[in-house]
Amino acid sequence: MIVLGYNGFTRGAELFGRLFGATGVGRNLLVGHDAAAALTIDGKLVAAVEEERLSRVKKTSDFPANAIEWCLEFAGVGLDQVDLFAFPWRFSPAVAEEMIARICDSDLPVAEKFDALRRTGEVYTDMLSREAVYSDFVQRTGHRLDPNKLALVPHHLAHLMCGAYLAGRKDAAFLVSDGRAETLSSVMGELRDGVVHLFDESTVDMANSLGVAYGRITRYLGFVPNNDEYKVMGLAAYGPPPQHNPLLEQVVHLHEDGSYTLAIPPDPESYYPLFDALFGGDSEKREEFDFRVRVAGWAQHMVEAVTAHQMRTLTAASGQDTLLFEGGLALNCVANTKMLERSSFTGMEVSFGASDPGVAIGAAVYTSGLRNRPAEAVTTPYLGPSYDERHIREALAQYADRVAWQEQPDTASVADWTAELLAEKNVVGWFQGRSEFGPRALGNRSILANPAFPDIKDVINLRVKHREPFRPFAPVVLASEAPRVFEMGKKSTSPYMTFVFPVREEYRERIPGACHVDGTARIQTVDEQQNPALAGLLRAFTARTEVPCLLNTSFNVAGEPIVCSPQDALECFLATEIDYLVIDRFVVTKRNR
């Protein structure tokens, strides 16, 4: 069976911009963001790519026409050969009735209720309904799809199925928490023998979304909600743990069944004054670093306290040993580690597709009947485009007036040459094999550097990434070496940068560039099976320098998607102060270097 999963709406950005005043990147961040496509064939996930990597529009919510075309072309499959098309949103008539009822039962004045009904009706009719989803697919692909081949999968179920498939788990407890699904923002339960058991009493509706609350504080601090929450998480580490938290005292209400309510009004005109009163802020204070750190600490503490509350209920209701955590909140790697270490779970899995890129995978997995990953399937995030030597040579030739290159005879020579470059204070663009799926650069489209230099973080933030100087970088380390360098707790590996670990005291002075201000690091572990090229480079680098890891950050600049093609890599290389670019076997330098 061939199943294509996809996420994205053609009219999403336009409708949310016109009807709800969303501007800039915010137009893409409400429903359908992180548009992507994924293809499963006979029980195996064979291809997946985010639309932004191909369209070069960051966080796009557009219909993923390019991603669909690439997945099918990669597999040699035509649209007419696909058995089912899976879409990770199910706005059924029953869901529409609930949306209407919520507006009618609200405290809005009558005129505002009519306005909300009008806007919601237009979004439902033109974008969310089954008829709109079907019409969007036909118009954008030109393929007259049999309506019976279109499967609409509930959003949180798609999240769960992505995590379950990639973890290969038959039985596990689960928590899915994000900004919003159709009407809910968080669900929990357990997966037994491929059957989902939802703990209905613990569900949280989208009006009380923890992800949205964190996003509103993100906006309050001057960042982009549903996009820059990781900046708030990073800022929180610059201050001590809060002794008291006004959010927990006045905004968050925890309930015995594991659910919660959050008393935050929906519009900035209302929640800015609320936050100013809670935090002692104003328009000037919001620009002060110390104030931002304090507020970020409260926001992070709120997430940790609420998820701990959910964990207590989940562990009491489920006898499973392992937790699957998916959804946008699962990218909060600081909270993830605390959730695991403070719970009775012996293991916890967060997939590389935990946020909304993964729902394309999850929808395909669910629709194809794959509740668990086949035993012989290898879990890999490297599911996107790769480029052969012909494509690379053609790209280099296009920039021959600006770059020069040396070709290495084999992968061992590439590793040795790159390790020699990284032994010095050089920043290297590293481009190998198939692009990784999800929001993290996992070693195939990465910028690498030597963490032994104390100021290397500042060099990359200012000269290369063009982003805030407080932002940390993640170390990549061989899985066999990780426990020697980091305090891993219950984890033995962390291949997707979804957990944070303390750096062992004896290594903090040896890899200062990899240590966050609080002495922790969001690590990526690799081995020869998962990524032989990166593992070979780490072995060569460590043998040369005795430094056990490398800094790994995404190959892009602020506001741009991670590079996908050789042309993307060359453009980024030439527009920044990256010192060297390694594409496959080619070591590239700038002619004006």
334-374 pLDDT tens trace: 999 999 999 999 999 999 999 999 999 999 999 998 655 55
Q: Tell me the C-alpha distance between 163 and 308, whole Å.
A: 20
Residue 586 pairs with which residues in a beta bridge? 407, 583
Average pLDDT of the chain, as a whole number: 93
Q: Tell me the C-alpha distance between 176 and 323, whole Å.
A: 10
Phi-psi region of 194 (alpha: psi -120 to 50; beta: other; left: phi over 0): left
Q: What's domain 2-152's architecture? A: 2-Layer Sandwich (3.30)
Q: Tell me the C-alpha distance between 501 and 487, whole Å.
A: 6
DSSP string over 126-171:
IIISHHHHHHHHHHHH-----GGGEEE--HHHHHHHHHHHHHT-SS
Give the global pTM. Answer: 0.95
State the residue for tokens 């209720």: 113
Assess whether the region 2-152 and the region 170-352 belong to the same CATH fold.
Answer: yes
Q: Tell me the C-alpha distance between 358 and 338, whole Å.
A: 23
Q: Tell me the C-alpha distance between 535 and 415, whole Å.
A: 9
Least confident of 296-305, 469-478, 501-510: 469-478
Beta pairing class for 428-431 and 445-449: antiparallel
Q: Tell me the C-alpha distance between 363 and 162, whole Å.
A: 8
Query: Which residues fall within 8 angstroms of residue 452, CB to CB, at 6 or more apart?
Result: 510, 511, 512, 513, 545, 547
The CATH code of the domain at 389-590 is: 3.90.870.20
pLDDT at position 475 is: 97
Segment 408-434 shows an average pLDDT of 97
pLDDT at position 166 is: 92
pLDDT at position 32 is: 77
Residue 27 has pLDDT above 60, yes or no: no
Residue 553 pairs with which residues in a beta bridge? 447
Residues 361 and 45 sit within 8 Å (Cβ to Cβ): yes
2 is written with which tokens? 């061939």
- 377 pLDDT band (50/70/90 cuts)? low
Q: Tell me the C-alpha distance between 439 and 354, whole Å.
A: 9
CA distances for 80 relative to 63, 76, 172, 471, angstroms: 19, 12, 37, 46
Nearest alpha carbon to residue 78 among 136, 141, 36, 140: 141
* Residue-wise burial string across 37-47, b where 16 or more C-beta atoms lie within 10 A, e elsewhere: bbbbbebebeb
Residue 28 has pLDDT above 60, yes or no: no
DSSP string over 346-359:
SEEE--TT-STTHH
570-582 pLDDT tens trace: 999 999 999 999 9
Could you tell me the end-to-end alpha-carbon distance of the chain, in angstroms, rounded to an integer?
Answer: 52
Query: Which residues fall within 8 angstroms of residue 244, CB to CB, at 6 or more apart?
Result: none
Segment 538-559 shows an average pLDDT of 96
- 308 pLDDT band (50/70/90 cuts)? very high
pLDDT at position 378 is: 59
Residue 304 has pLDDT above 80, yes or no: yes
Q: Tell me the C-alpha distance between 76 and 203, whole Å.
A: 42
136-187 pLDDT tens trace: 999 999 999 999 999 999 999 999 999 999 998 779 999 999 999 999 999 9
Torsion of the alpha carbons at 20, 24, 27 and 33, rounded to the nearest 10: -160
Segment 497-519 shows an average pLDDT of 95
Above pLDDT 70, what percent of the chain? 97
- Kindly list the domain boundaries of the chain, sorted by start residue: 2-152, 170-352, 389-590
CA distances for 534 relative to 20, 531, 579, angstroms: 45, 6, 19
Segment 42-60 shows an average pLDDT of 94
140-153 pLDDT tens trace: 999 999 999 999 99
Residues 364 and 160 sit within 8 Å (Cβ to Cβ): no
Q: What's domain 170-352's architecture? A: 2-Layer Sandwich (3.30)
Q: Tell me the C-alpha distance between 170 and 272, whole Å.
A: 45
539 is written with which tokens? 């072995």
Element at 475 (helix H, strand E): strand 474-478
CA distances for 452 relative to 328, 415, 509, 542, angstroms: 32, 19, 8, 11
Q: Tell me the C-alpha distance between 538 and 415, whole Å.
A: 8
Residue 431 pairs with which residues in a beta bridge? 445, 583
202-235 pLDDT tens trace: 999 999 999 999 999 999 999 988 788 999 999 9
Q: Tell me the C-alpha distance between 476 and 541, whole Å.
A: 12
Residue 540 has pLDDT above 70, yes or no: yes
Residue 94 has pLDDT above 80, yes or no: yes
